[in-house]
Amino acid sequence: MESIGVLMASPVNPYLEQELDKRFNLFRLWEYPSKPEFLKSHSQSIRAVVGGVSAGADAELIQALPKLEIVASFSVGLDKIDLPKCKEKGIKVTNTPDVLTEDVADLAIGLILATLRRICECDRYVRKGLWKKGDFQLTTKFSGKTVGIIGLGRIGMAIAKRAEAFRCPVSYYTRSEKSDCKYKYYPSVVELASNCQILVVACPLTGETRHIINREVIDALGPKGFLINIARGPHVDEPELVSALIEGRLGGAGLDVFENEPYVPEELFKLDNVVLLPHVGSGTIETRQAMADLVIGNLEAHFLNKPRLTPVI
């Protein structure tokens, strides 16, 4: 397989790069000063693209690679891949589901606790020597609060199970009600937000879910409500979120993802009722290695004409 051209759109994981280098003819797009020049010289030899959360395979890249057979994403989210274009051209797509579910759900609970109990601010308080001057302010309880989840798939369900252990009544919104599900279903995001204290976003980013958190939803959640986003930044209308937090129309927010990451609205830096993370939902050594192994396994299976491990299309 050493002669098969594999293109990585952006750096995602050193172990993955090293293992792909051993097996394929790996091209790192970011190492080339000009993308058009790169494509002019190498487009005929690229048979696979490895994408991730920041770059995948858009219509332009797919169009520029006439020999492309497969896009293997180092992520479960497919929002950086033009799926209709892949379907139209018969290009296969794989992702990395399941192996990251626990880490992302763990992080969602961590973000809830950090936001409601102000754990990061407490840490800053101690480090700055402020404890000597007085006790830290009282915060608000997590256990028993109502949790609403948008998207009750692998990750949403894992968050629900964890929230149950904190005695939290769980409700959810998805496009259709799940049969055999013990959690309360609301047929709209606004109804869900009106009936929960902590709203967690855990659905895929699509045309339908872009800005699913808008002013109406934020106002329904209200000044005592908390928004937790571990899905994708563009789910949230960020200027609306920032103004609601500044004006006290929303209680607080815990965010792992941002609309234009790695750029984060600087107004948020001044607020104590937010916790800001650099998109680390699946960011453990163990999980990133499992994701890398899935990408490699999918590519090897495809080029050996065997069933892929985690096919999308």
**Which residues does the annotation mark as catalytic?**
232, 261, 279
Gap between the Cα atoms of 37 and 159, Å rounded:
45
Choose one: 144-152, 214-222, 242-250, 266-274; the region binding ligand NAP (CB under 6 A).
Answer: 144-152
Choose one: 36-44, 82-90, 206-214, 298-306; the region binding ligand NAP (CB under 6 A).
Answer: 206-214
Phi, psi of 3 (to 5 degrees): -90, -10
- Taking the complex as a whole, the smallest distance from the CB of residue 78 to ligand NAP amounts, in Å, to 7
Residue closer to ligand NAP (CB basis): 23 or 154: 154
Gap between the Cα atoms of 122 and 101, Å rounded:
28
Q: How many residues bind ligand NAP (CB under 6 A)?
A: 31
Interface with ligand NAP, residue 110, by CB under 6 A: no
Gap between the Cα atoms of 183 and 254, Å rounded:
23
Interface with ligand NAP, residue 310, by CB under 6 A: no
Gap between the Cα atoms of 173 and 194, Å rounded:
12
Interface with ligand NAP, residue 311, by CB under 6 A: no
Look-up: residue for tokens 């101690």? 126
Gap between the Cα atoms of 137 and 165, Å rounded:
26
Q: Which of 187, 238, 245 is nearest to 213 (CA)?
A: 238
Look-up: residue for tokens 């219509």? 59
Residue 3 per-residue DSSP state = T
Interface with ligand NAP, residue 46, by CB under 6 A: no
Secondary element (H or E) of residue 199: strand 198-201
Phi, psi of 166 (to 5 degrees): -95, 15
Gap between the Cα atoms of 60 and 72, Å rounded:
17
Choose one: 16-24, 83-91, 225-233, 284-292; the region binding ligand NAP (CB under 6 A).
Answer: 225-233
Contact track, ligand NAP, 162-191, x by CB under 6 A: -----------xxxx---------------
Contact track, ligand NAP, 78-107, x by CB under 6 A: -------------------x--x---x---
Choose one: 10-18, 119-127, 146-154, 239-247; the region binding ligand NAP (CB under 6 A).
Answer: 146-154
Using CB under 6 A as the criterion, which residues of the chain lie in contact with ligand NAP when the complex forms?
A: 76-77, 97, 100, 104, 150-156, 173-176, 202-206, 208-209, 230-232, 256-257, 279, 281-282
